[in-house]
Structure 1
Amino acid sequence: MNAPRRSRLLTVQELREALGPDVVGRDLAYELARRYGVRLGKRLLVPSRVVEALLEGRLEELDAKTPEVGTRGQ
């Protein structure tokens, strides 16, 4: 019996490696992580489903599922 698949959180560097560092620059990777990822302490992590959606061209689907968050700390 196989264990259930767990959602994996990627670092910004792993996000760039998965999408291609020549395709996604550092600034864009951090922008994607801030928009679709989560912050755990000082770490900014992105769910693997976000990478899969980006690779499959389903960005609109992500936008529909991502709640709008107002600016904080300003």
Structure 2
Amino acid sequence: MPTTYLIAPRRRRAARLLGLFAALATYLARARERRQASNALYNLSDHQLRDIGVSRAEIDHVIRHGRPRD
């Protein structure tokens, strides 16, 4: 019975490790989405960007923070 006291700390450690991997996966998924959105906007013409109210200089800001509400 001397090892039973180690089960709870191992479970907590495993839960923290799973949480870390989940956070990393979420971060990578969001980074991929931002990169895809950025590529899509950079591939638009200046005229198309003007139609949606975004200048080429604002693309990175819009991707990270969204557009301000009017």
The question of a shared fold, defined as TM-score above 0.5 by the shorter chain, is answered with: no
Larger RCO, structure (CA 8 Å, separation 6 or more): 1
Structure whose CA Rg is larger = 2
TM-score normalised per structure 2: 0.26
Q: Which has the higher strand share?
A: 1
TM-score normalised per structure 1: 0.25
